[in-house]
Structure 1
Amino acid sequence: MALTTMLFVPADRPERFEKAAASTADAIVLDLEDAVSPENKEIARANIVKAILDKRTFVRVNPVQTDLFHDDLVALARAGCLNIMLPKAETTWELESVAAALGEDITVIPLIETAVGLDNARELAAHRTVPFLAFGSLDFALDMGCEHTQDALRFARQTLVFASRLAQKAAPIDGVTVAIDDYDHIKADAIEARHLGFAGKLVIHPKQLAAVADAFRPSDAEVAWATQVVEAVAANGTQAAKINGQMIDKPVISRAERILLRSSPNRG
């Protein structure tokens, strides 16, 4: 499951579903939580039951700690939904609750938004239903009482990357950027996430998709370097080579191969 962009769509706005599905987003997240007002929750659930939910469509339910969670699961069972994003995820018991309601084939993306969730990140990532974690940076900053800045949240981001690696799961997906029209700002945030080891980013508007995709796509210079490395090794016939006076060994070769894989349009 190679996802760089996950685009949120309010579940009470069904007229946006088809447009989102036709976008360049790698996955769509129909949102029953923050994007839907309390009076529209039931309408939103009905829209999901009627929607066509393919393998690239996720549904963000309301937190387990709320009275809305049970009704969400009932609707998703009717819809045959197999991909869930779970906000405020804190314990594996919550993941078990989802699996019990929707079946063992369910895929759950825990959204880490609290200090408790971060502390339990490794256990959450290791759960059988979880392919990767996601970071709810806005709510996490609120829970911690800190600013929503790169410096303030760097420890949390690094912890999620570390926990994912220890659990031998895919790299996590970073939280949203609130700016919609500022391409440079969005791209800078996404580059920071990429440098820390994230695989992609949550997106709140289609206008953000290009900036995030550009940030996670290797540059021409990186691709040229990686190609040179791989070709030199192939010509040398060993797992080591010398390029521009520098010794290229297995870790460098692996990095080059990873860059070329990310640059491929068919990487997923």
Structure 2
Amino acid sequence: MTIAARSILFVPGDRPERFDKARASGADLVVIDLEDAVLPDRKAAARDTIHDTLADLTEPRFVVRINSLDTEWHADDVRALAGLPGVSGLMLPKAERASDFAAMHEAATGKPLHALVETVSAVFALADLVTAPGLARLSFGTVDFQADAGIDGDGAEIDHVRTMIVLHSRNAGLAAPVDGVSTDLSDDAALARDADHARRFGFGGKLCVHPRQVQVVNTAFLPSDVDVQWATRVMAAIDGGFGAVALDGKLIDKPVVDRARRLLGAHAAYQSA
């Protein structure tokens, strides 16, 4: 079973001394950020730093979040970074349509592309966006989306959008999407609740802005011991076939068995990762 990254940790693109430290944090995926984390007058220098650092690597290690399509830096970011051996993929902020990815797909030579859904326009264009060439996964940029939509709150206020992103991802055969950041770095309990909320809505991971968030997120997206025990009992109850089988007074049908298999597959995959 292929497992998608649970914790996606951002690291500033102008802080190369943090790149390997971010990988050592236990994050499933590290994204070097050229967008929000780098001031405008430092973007060109940061791009050069990333180029020099990743060009020396012999295997892909990092996704790079480049600047959005409507900025003066976008084309140079793609040209300088897409083909580097140390780059495992590119992430596009403010992605809104499939055509946004054409040049990236060509330059990245088969590397997976990631789209950040951060605008109202992107949400209404999800059916088109998920057909982008090379697109592997959507991430929900909740903070930017709230600002664009004029919505105050990242819980129930935007859960409808979460559902849309999950369903469009599923329909297009993409990996389960990634939920947005939790900005309070001091409250691990709140972070765990946010991650569990995202998981129950069908997300497969969560964006992180600090290494201390990584372990909480990783744990939240693991099948729980209770779930694994339930799935094990389901599989034992059917014992290779269906028929009229009940467990704890509930009928076991194909959707129940499929869920049990997914849970056990994810548990085994993460245990061996």
Distance 1:114 1:142 in 2: 9
Q: Is the 8 A contact 1:132 1:169 kept in 2?
A: yes
Of the three residues 32, 35, 38, the one matched with 2:37 is 35
Aligned Cα RMSD in Å? 1.7
- Structure 1 residue 61 corresponds to structure 2 residue 66: yes
5+ long unaligned stretches in structure 2: none
Of the three residues 223, 232, 238, the one matched with 1:233 is 238
Q: Is the 8 A contact 2:98 2:133 kept in 1?
A: no
- Structure 1 residue 142 corresponds to structure 2 residue 147: yes
Quote the residue 1:255 is aligned against. Answer: 259
SS of structure 2 residue aligned to 1:126: coil
Quote the residue 2:115 is aligned against. Answer: 110
**CA offset digits 1:103-135 (Å, max 9, x no partner):** 441321010000111111122222231111111
Distance 1:23 1:239 in 2: 44
Quote the residue 2:161 is aligned against. Answer: 156
- Structure 1 residue 79 corresponds to structure 2 residue 72: no
Deviates more, 1:180-189 or 1:73-82: 73-82
Alpha-carbon distance, 1:189 to partner: 0.6
Of the three residues 167, 175, 186, the one matched with 1:170 is 175
5+ long unaligned stretches in structure 1: none
SS of structure 2 residue aligned to 1:133: strand
Q: Is the 8 A contact 1:126 1:168 kept in 2?
A: no
Of the three residues 16, 28, 44, the one matched with 1:14 is 16
Distance 1:48 1:256, change over 3 A: same
**CA offset digits 1:196-253 (Å, max 9, x no partner):** 111111111110011111211122111111111112222xx31343223322111101
Deviates more, 1:74-83 or 1:130-139: 74-83
Q: Is the 8 A contact 1:138 1:148 kept in 2?
A: no
Q: Is the 8 A contact 2:146 2:153 kept in 1?
A: yes
Distance 1:215 1:82 in 2: 25
Aligned-residue identity in percent: 39
Alpha-carbon distance, 1:43 to partner: 2.2
